[in-house]
Structure 1
Amino acid sequence: MLYRKTSFIIATLALALVGCNQPEEGTYIEGNITEINEVSGDMEIDIESWSTVGDEESSSTKFGFTEKPSSETIRVHHPEDYDEGQAVRVNVIKNYEEEVWDLNRLKFDIKEVS
């Protein structure tokens, strides 16, 4: 009886932890930094892949870019933290309805890829 309870608890915890490891919903770009403007914070990224996680039908806040170019400019707060040639994964957060790339309204969460 104790073995069954222990097995059930371990299985339940394992399933709960698997759900916690899922990536956050959003639109992601992965690529390499090709140019950094230290003054404006603009950073050009040569994009290797675009991906979307979540339900595209339900949200205009994080999805909806119909054109996916091979390079894109993003704006960062601390450009000195990055180097040209560095591989990054960027979560693009879009809080508006129009399907345009607007640096003044987009937010970017950048993670270094090793």
Structure 2
Amino acid sequence: MSKNKLFFIEAIFLCTLMGCSQAEEGTFMQGDITGINKESGDMEVDVDAWTTVSEKGSSTEPYEIDDAPTSQTIRVSNPEDYEEGEKVQVKVIKNYEEDVWDLDRLTFEVEEVD
């Protein structure tokens, strides 16, 4: 397993252990799109911040992850909807029961931010 994948998995695991109150629970990254492969759907994001939010009411502020990757490649189903240079917030979604973080099975919801 590559060092980048291992670090990402560790960061996501730490995110799930800590959390705060926000409109929506989950693990998020914010940053700028630096590259898009329109054929494969791979999108490279230069990450400004990683945050996680768990059970509502547990805290008033999202927990920011220190030492998380500063760049992450994600796969999206609609790469034609995005442009390089756009600022985005990405929610990491785990749609399976096992207690492992598998980058090949994670999905991502991408929203443009101002």
Common fold: TM-score over 0.5: yes
Given residue 111 of structure 1, which amino acid in structure 2 is its aligned partner?
Answer: E
Larger radius of gyration, structure 1 or 2?
1
Map of 1:31 onto structure 2: 31
Gaps of 5+ in 2: 1-21, 56-64
Map of 1:45 onto structure 2: 45
Q: Select the structure that is richer in helix.
A: 1
The one-character-per-residue Cα deviations of 1:63-110 (angstroms, maximum 9, x if unpaired) are xx996200000001110100000000001012342245x1x2001111
Q: Name the TM-score, length of structure 2 as normaliser.
A: 0.65
Map of 1:54 onto structure 2: 54
> Within 5 Å, which residues of 2 pair with 1:59-74?
68-74=68-74
Q: Name the TM-score, length of structure 1 as normaliser.
A: 0.65
The one-character-per-residue Cα deviations of 1:13-44 (angstroms, maximum 9, x if unpaired) are xxxxxxxxx42100000000000001100000
Aligned residues: 82
Map of 1:80 onto structure 2: 80
Given residue 74 of structure 1, which amino acid in structure 2 is its aligned partner?
Answer: I
The alignment partner of 1:33 has SS state of strand
Over the matched positions of the two proteins, sequence identity in percent amounts to: 50
Given residue 92 of structure 1, which amino acid in structure 2 is its aligned partner?
Answer: V
The alignment partner of 2:91 has SS state of strand
The alignment partner of 1:80 has SS state of helix
CA 1:86/1:73 → structure 2, altered by over 3 Å: closer, same or farther? same
Give 4+ residue runs of structure 1 displaced > 3 Å after superposition: none
The alignment partner of 2:99 has SS state of coil
8 Å CA contact 1:23–1:53 kept in 2: the answer is: no
